[in-house]
């Protein structure tokens, strides 16, 4: 998912809707994020391009809301509820995801297998 500065980013994305789970006073989503424009991109184990400073899903709590919605480890989050996630700091991403007033987050995530699936389906002739 390399990008060229100045050019629009194109990616094949999947729409994932997660219902937040209420645990006491907190609303949790059940996954962990890493990355951000203020972080070191070289230490991200999931990115293909080691200069990619996007937000990645680093861990999924099994059985949690994110797991139920189909989020997978290593996904790059492109949008959250319409807010862009490709050029944000780590803290901004955290705040966007954990807004107390929202019950549900609609994510646009991308992963490598999506691109390959699209390519494969395009290579088969239409029937």
Q: At its nearest, how many Å lie between another protein and the CB of residue 93?
A: 8
Interaction of residue 58 with another protein, rule CB under 8 A: yes
Interaction of residue 109 with another protein, rule CB under 8 A: no
Q: At its nearest, how many Å lie between another protein and the CB of residue 84?
A: 17
Q: What are all long-range contacts of 55-59, with beta carbons under 8 Å and residues at least 24 apart? A: 55/85, 55/86, 55/88, 55/90, 55/93, 57/31, 57/32, 57/33, 57/109, 58/31, 58/32, 58/33, 58/34, 59/31, 59/32
Interaction of residue 40 with another protein, rule CB under 8 A: yes
Which one, 61 or 86, has the nearer CB to another protein?
61
Contact by Cβ (8 Å): 61, 30? yes
Which one, 1 or 30, has the nearer CB to another protein?
30
| 80 vs 46: CA distance, rounded Å | 19
CA distances from 4 to 25, 52, 116 (A): 42, 11, 20
Q: At its nearest, how many Å lie between another protein and the CB of residue 11?
A: 22
Q: At its nearest, how many Å lie between another protein and the CB of residue 110?
A: 18
Interaction of residue 43 with another protein, rule CB under 8 A: yes
What is the contact surface with another protein in residues (CB under 8 A)?
28-29, 31-34, 38-40, 43-44, 58-59, 61, 90, 94, 97-98
């Amino acid at each position: 998912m390399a990008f060229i500065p100045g050019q629009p980013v194109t990616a094949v994305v999947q729409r994932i809707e997660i219902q937040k789970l209420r645990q006491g006073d907190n609303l949790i989503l059940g996954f962990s994020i890493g990355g951000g424009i203020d972080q070191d991109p070289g230490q991200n184990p999931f990115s293909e391009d080691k200069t990619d400073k996007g937000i990645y899903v680093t861990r999924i709590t099994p059985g949690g809301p994110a797991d139920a919605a189909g989020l997978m480890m290593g996904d790059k989050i492109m949008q959250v509820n319409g807010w862009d996630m490709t050029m944000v700091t780590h803290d901004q991403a955290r705040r966007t995801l954990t807004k107390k007033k929202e019950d549900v987050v609609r994510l646009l995530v991308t992963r490598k297998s999506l691109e390959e699936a699209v390519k494969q389906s395009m290579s088969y002739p239409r029937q």
